[in-house]
Amino acid sequence: MKYITHEQAMQLLEAAKGYRIENIILLAVSLGLRRGEILGLHWDDIDFAQGKLSIRRTVSYIPPQDGAQHVYLETDPKTATSKRIIILPTFIQEALKTHRSLQLQERLKAGKAWEQNHLVFCSTLGKHVKPSSLRNQFKCALEKANLPDMRFHDLRHSAATILLSMGVNIKVIQELLGHANISITLDIYSHVTPDMQRDAMKDLDRQYQMAQKGDTLLTSV
């Protein structure tokens, strides 16, 4: 399992500016959304007035078979808990509003060629994003940011690790990622980053020294 730090996430987002997947990366590394959940978002899933985003579906790419054309299949999320409502931070709301304005310009430019699927993330003609296109752009952004190669899904792992390093409660992370059981969150994200461990030891050392001086009692870390 690979993951990037908060600093590296900022490098990646900076490198992704101007790419069509810029905000796709933003949702993955900030909120831990799955690729299929992001690509399955419709505009009516986003309530800007309330600052909320609803995960109601996921989209899967079915490769062409027996000469037939490829298909994009929209289905219910992975599990019951994958259907969830997420409170959006202001910076993501602003990014999505800007994205919507740019998409409207593309729609007007495309005219009758536009395919109305109500997708938040789509091609220049309103069609579903091709997995190969996302993968290629993601790889380019990683290289531009001088980051090691990784899967797009690793951004989901990274989001959890970053939130954990910020002190976010593990239960909140579980709900944000849509895990059915908190043990899944704990099992997958049981690794602790060196910085988190170092900070914990500094805090322990500080409290121990204070306790030795009689300033305070040693409390659990």
Please name every residue paired with 55 in a beta bridge, in sequence order, or none if there are none: 84
Q: Domain spans of the chain?
A: 6-190, 193-221
Q: Tens of pLDDT along 181-195?
A: 887 777 766 665 666
User: In which region does residue 66 sit, left (phi positive, over 0), alpha (psi from -120 to 50) or beta (all else)?
Assistant: left
Residue 35, burial from CB neighbour count under 10 angstroms (0-12, 13-18, 19+)? buried
> Quick one: which of 23, 29, 161, 15 has its CA closest to 93?
23
CB 211 within 8 A of CB 180: no
Q: Cβ(23)–Cβ(99) under 8 Å?
A: yes
| Residue 89, CA atoms < 13 Å, CB-side half-sphere | 7
Environment class of 58 (CB within 10 Å of its CB; exposed 0-12, middle 13-18, buried 19+): buried
Q: How far apart are CA 201 and CA 47, in angstroms?
A: 42
CA distance 80 to 151: 25
Q: In this predicted structure, what is the pLDDT of residue 66?
A: 73
First CA to last CA across the chain, in angstroms? Answer: 27
pTM recorded for the entire structure: 0.85
Q: Give pLDDT tens digits along the chain (221 positions).
A: 688 989 999 999 999 999 999 999 999 999 999 999 999 999 999 999 999 999 999 999 888 777 667 788 888 887 888 999 999 999 999 999 999 999 999 999 999 999 999 999 999 999 999 999 999 999 999 999 999 999 999 999 899 888 988 888 889 999 999 988 887 777 766 665 666 667 777 777 787 788 777 655 445 44
Alpha carbon distance 58, 73 (integer Å): 8
CATH number of 6-190: 1.10.443.10
Report how far residue 46's alpha carbon sits from residue 41's, in angstroms, rounded to the nearest whole number.
8
